[in-house]
């Protein structure tokens, strides 16, 4: 007697967006995130993959997902995604999603001009930023997303770096100034929050971006701890979870436990020798600013009532 796949308990590939067989590093924190993102986006999606670690997530020899993958370069990737979105619209294919998938190098640095361009034009593209806080695919050099004070292959010791070079870029604030429809931060360690934000982003027509800090084994932790490290990044306040609508309306989506920062940094070699007191003050200042913006009433008062 032959059994069906349902009777065998085998889930058909059509219900799983991202399969096994990828080439990512063992313990890569981005793989769990990518699987969650692809599940939330659903079928009929096109992914434009900017040069990054993600090149190993989709090996060319065989298929590891059920979506179309386009490998592209830093400078042109975001514009190419916009072009695909416009082409689909011209053909009346409104049920398909275009995703630009970038690392922090592509979004914070080399591709920032292209990212700003599609944000300014309000391109109908979902941008996923896999922020592992460095150029990890080439050995771990500093990017605009690297927390200052961390020793990489291209940074000075913290005490030698000028004060102006000790702060990482705030990508969401840069993009909020473009007044785009939707921006959010998320984490693979909080799957429900991530799922809701991706699905909410897709309800907007125009530019939307979800920024995820993902744990990389280059940070110097045991590979089995990737999700724990990602969770502690949130629960210590190092990576706040929030969203911004229209560039103005802020909402905190998770109130962290504010565990000691050392619980997060102590698991990683990259924080050895870092001024944790300064790192903690930076995080506290960011939270103060975030709470202020989240508490503002919206819509704002009319100009005539501002006195």
Judge whether 242 and 251 are in contact, CB under 8 Å.
Answer: yes
Average the pLDDT over each of 85-89, 208-212, 220-224, 239-243 and give the range with the smallest value.
220-224
Asked if residue 199 belongs to a domain, the reply is: yes
Asked if residue 1 belongs to a domain, the reply is: no
Calpha distance 194→59 (Å, rounded): 25
Output the domain CATH number for residue 114.
3.40.50.970
Tokens in use for 269?
Answer: 């070699």
**What phi and psi values does residue 18 have, to the nearest 5 degrees?**
-130, 125
**pLDDT-based confidence at 47, cuts 50/70/90?**
very high
**What phi and psi values does residue 262 have, to the nearest 5 degrees?**
-65, -25
Q: Which domain holds residue 125?
A: 9-297
Asked if residue 210 belongs to a domain, the reply is: yes
Calpha distance 280→285 (Å, rounded): 9
Quick: pLDDT tens for 89-133.
999 998 999 999 998 888 888 889 999 999 999 999 999 999 887
Domain count, the chain: 1
Q: What is the total residue count of the chain?
A: 307
Alpha helix (H) ranges present in 130-222? 171-176, 191-201
Averaged pLDDT of the chain = 83
Asked if residue 3 belongs to a domain, the reply is: no
Quick: pLDDT tens for 270-300.
888 788 888 888 899 999 999 999 998 877 6
Tokens in use for 154?
Answer: 């291209």
Residue with tokens 């704002």: 300
Cα→Cα distances 153→45, 201, 265, Å = 36, 36, 19
Asked if residue 77 belongs to a domain, the reply is: yes
Asked if residue 252 belongs to a domain, the reply is: yes
């Amino acid at each position: 007697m032959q059994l069906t796949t349902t009777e065998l308990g085998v889930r058909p590939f059509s219900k799983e967006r991202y399969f096994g067989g990828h080439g990512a590093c063992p313990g890569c924190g981005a793989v769990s995130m990518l699987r969650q993102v692809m599940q939330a986006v659903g079928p009929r999606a096109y992914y434009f993959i900017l040069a990054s670690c993600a090149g190993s997530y989709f090996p060319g020899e065989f298929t590891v997902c059920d979506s179309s993958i386009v490998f592209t370069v830093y400078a042109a990737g975001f514009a190419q995604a916009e072009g695909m979105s416009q082409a689909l619209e011209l053909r009346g294919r409104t049920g398909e999603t275009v995703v630009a998938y970038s690392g922090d190098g592509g979004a914070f640095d080399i591709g920032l001009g292209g990212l700003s361009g599609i944000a300014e034009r309000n391109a109908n593209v979902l941008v996923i930023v896999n922020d592992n806080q460095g150029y990890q695919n080439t050995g771990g050099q500093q990017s605009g997303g690297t927390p200052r004070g961390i020793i990489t292959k291209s940074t000075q010791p913290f005490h030698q770096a000028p004060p102006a070079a000790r702060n990482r870029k705030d990508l969401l604030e840069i993009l909020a100034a473009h007044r785009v429809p939707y921006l959010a931060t998320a984490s693979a360690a909080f799957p429900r929050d991530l799922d809701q934000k991706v699905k909410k982003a897709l309800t907007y027509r125009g530019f939307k971006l979800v920024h995820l800090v993902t744990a990389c084994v280059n940070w110097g932790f045991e590979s089995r701890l990737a999700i724990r490290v990602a969770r502690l990044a949130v629960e210590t306040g190092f990576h706040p979870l929030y969203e911004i609508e229209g560039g103005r309306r802020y909402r905190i989506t998770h109130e962290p436990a504010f565990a000691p920062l050392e619980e997060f940094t102590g698991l990683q070699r990259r924080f050895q020798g870092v001024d944790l007191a300064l790192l903690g003050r930076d995080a506290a200042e960011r939270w103060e600013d975030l709470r202020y913006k989240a508490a503002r009433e919206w819509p704002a008062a009319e100009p005539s009532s501002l006195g």
